[in-house]
Amino acid sequence: MTDTLDPLFQPLKAGALNLRNRIVMAPLTRSRADHKTLAPRQINADYYGQRASAGMIIAEATQIMPEGQGYAWTPGIYSDEQIAGWKLVTDAVHAKGGTIVLQLWHVGRISHRDLQPGGKLPVAPSAVKPEGKAFTETGFKDLETPRALELDEIPGIVAQYGQASKNAIAAGFDGVEVHGANGYLLDQFLRDKTNLRTDAYGGSIPNRARFLLEATQAAVDAIGKERVGIRLSPVSPANDCADSNPEPLFTYVTEKLSEMGLAFLHVIEGETRGSRAPEGAFDLSVLRKAFKGVYIGNNGYDPKLAAARVANGEVDAVAFGRPFIANPDLVERIRDGAPLAQPDEATFYGGDAKGYVDYPTYREADAKVA
């Protein structure tokens, strides 16, 4: 390891979470839960256990309730079977000294009636049809025009964020990350392209931020602020979501989240899986200044950039996503300067062991060559 990468290998405390390095595994949807119960299985425990050297694993986006599902075979955290399945995962990570939190998810309109209980329409802040396709058990289908949530339905969903947080702790997780990014339900309420409401959850910035802040507070009330983080994507157009003036919106949201005393803020910097500085984006350093806790940067990082931004205090840690798919030993590869393997995109979603738990560490690969 060169001295320039040393900042990535310093420990970090985020609330009650102890990170042994600054390399975070970002949540990655892999659609490999049990097809019937949507509970994790032993293969999922093997996958996360292989990657336990990360400073912190943020486990894949996990629906807090049946209506929160938007992709085939993604896991839940609302049933006894799911809690037991996740316990396999957390035990595997903790056995190797790792730290792991669960990302809490409700997709809102990014779903399809084929994935919804009773074949009902997905829900959203407003009945605005998104562009794109849903990954269902029978293939990709066009997203539909969702049903706008009634005002009296919102408290029940907020409460589920609290219950899901309790379920995550029961499953052995060290904490949770509220998914407020990438055009899913909480993000849909934030942005004026998707939120056309005229009640207490629409219109002004405080009103549009209300649902996200209430959901996050429900998690805090359930398990304590020191075990709750949140993910935001202030300038990403993912899932056809956007806002006409994102800087004041996300500055307000971040200030309010900071007042809660959360363990960490996880920010997608730029477009999800795209440019770190898209045209028209505002300077995200204002969010770093507004949030008093641990700040995790994400999107388009390589080890050199990650180490430099940690060293400069621009971020406290960096989340890597896709590099962890083909590199279960990503931390060791960065430390030792080993080349990174490239993932097989055809095996990203669904399937079984292939492209999931069969990627070798670089030492295993070298041994085979030798």
Phi-psi category of 66—alpha, beta or left, where left has phi over 0 and alpha has psi -120 to 50? alpha
Answer for the pair 307, 4: CB distance below 8 angstroms, yes or no: yes
The CA–CA distances, whole Å, from 322 to 14, 29, 34, 196 equal: 23, 10, 23, 34
Q: What does 242-303 look like in DSSP terms, one character per residue?
A: --SSHHHHHHHHHHHHHHHT-SEEEEE-SSTTS-SS-TT---THHHHHH--SEEEEESS--H
- Cα separation of 272 and 68, whole Å? 21
SS3 5: helix
Catalytic residue selected from 161, 184, 201, 359: 184
- Cα separation of 190 and 185, whole Å? 9
Residues in the chain: 370
Q: Among 354, 333, 330, which Cα is nearest to 344's?
A: 354
- Cα separation of 14 and 257, whole Å? 15
- Cα separation of 34 and 70, whole Å? 16
Q: Is 295 a catalytic residue?
A: no
Alpha helix positions (H), the chain = 42-50, 80-95, 154-170, 185-190, 205-223, 246-260, 285-290, 303-311, 323-326, 330-336, 362-369
Q: Among 78, 59, 57, 83, which Cα is nearest to 68's?
A: 78
Q: Among 65, 7, 56, 94, which Cα is nearest to 263's?
A: 56
Q: Catalytic positions, please?
A: 184
